[in-house]
Amino acid sequence: MWKYFVDATAEIIEEEGVENVTIRKVADRAGYNSATIYNYFSEISHLLFFASMRCMQDYTNEVARYIERGKDPIDKYLLAWECFCQYSFKQPQIFHAVFIMDLGETPEKLLENYYNFYPNDLINIPEDLKTILFQHSLTKRGRSMLEIALKEGYLTEGNVDAINEITLLIWQGMFTNLLNNRKSYDAQQATEIVMSYITKIVRNANLFDEEHNNKQS
């Protein structure tokens, strides 16, 4: 029953967009009355979250292929961001429902529930990437990848948090503009702009080391 409602919502999202999802439409498509939905979802944001996750399967599969192309942890980090930008800028409403919308409870628990119902979504995903995908927080996702670079000596402790925060803020700025129709860039243009900034920041990580050392002294 739970999956009927999620799949019905995902179909409406793909046909009409997240903004046009209503409880009545979902109930009609699933073949049940509206009140039944609330037996399975305490908030409509949860239903939108699960259904949007269904619509993100192309991204989940593609990010693994992107990362495989990287020669080292820094390359992998940049490629992961490039893939995330491409898909989030192409489907801002869906990514908003998954990563930005107020879900009212621990998002990681919702992710765990989702993958319990749809384990096949993880079949082609490497084990190390699964750990990252089970983290809802974009801050934690980025930090996890940067910690690999830290352990292998590509970064130092003094610049990991700065890189993580600044790259996320750059993405959020562009994402918000696209979500609210404040910019006319297509997904490719927006990705190229954001990645040019993120790449400069990561490749010049030593600048954060100097700032960190100055604060320590």
Identity (one letter) of the amino acid at 96? Answer: H
Residue 207 has what pLDDT?
Answer: 59
Query: Could you give the count of Cα atoms lying within 13 Å of 190 in the half-sphere of its Cβ?
Result: 28
Residue 39 has what pLDDT?
Answer: 92
First CA to last CA distance, the chain: 60
Spell out the per-residue pLDDT of the chain, length 217, in tens: 899 999 999 999 999 999 999 999 999 999 999 999 999 998 889 999 999 999 999 999 899 999 999 999 999 999 999 999 999 999 999 999 999 998 876 788 888 899 999 998 887 788 878 888 888 889 999 999 999 999 999 998 888 999 999 999 999 999 999 999 998 999 999 999 999 999 999 988 765 555 544 454 4
Whole-structure pTM value = 0.88
Write the burial class of residue 26 (CB in 10 Å: 0-12 exposed, 13-18 middle, 19+ buried). Answer: buried
CA distance 168 to 194: 10
**What does each C-alpha distance from 135 to 35, 61, 143 come to in angstroms?**
31, 16, 11
* 104 within a domain of the structure (yes/no): no
**DSSP for 171-190, written as a single string:** HHHHHHHHHTT-----HHHH
Residue 208 has what pLDDT?
Answer: 58
* 43 within a domain of the structure (yes/no): no
Residue 103 has what pLDDT?
Answer: 86
Residue 185 has what pLDDT?
Answer: 95
* 162 within a domain of the structure (yes/no): yes
Q: Are 52 and 94 in contact (CB under 8 A)?
A: yes
Q: What are phi and psi of 102, to 5 degrees?
A: -70, 115
- Residue 214 CA to its chain's centroid (Å): 34
pLDDT digit string, tens, across residues 203-214: 887 655 555 444
Residue reference for tokens 């903004």 = 19
CA distance 89 to 43: 26
Return the beta strands (E) in 19-140 as ranges.
none
Residue 76 has what pLDDT?
Answer: 94
* 47 within a domain of the structure (yes/no): no
Query: Could you give the count of Cα atoms lying within 13 Å of 209 in the half-sphere of its Cβ?
Result: 10
In percent, how much of the chain has pLDDT > 70? 94
* 78 within a domain of the structure (yes/no): yes
Q: Are 21 and 9 in contact (CB under 8 A)?
A: yes
* 22 within a domain of the structure (yes/no): no
* 42 within a domain of the structure (yes/no): no
Query: Which residue range(s) make up the domain with 195?
Result: 57-92+125-215
Number of domains in the chain: 1
* 51 within a domain of the structure (yes/no): no
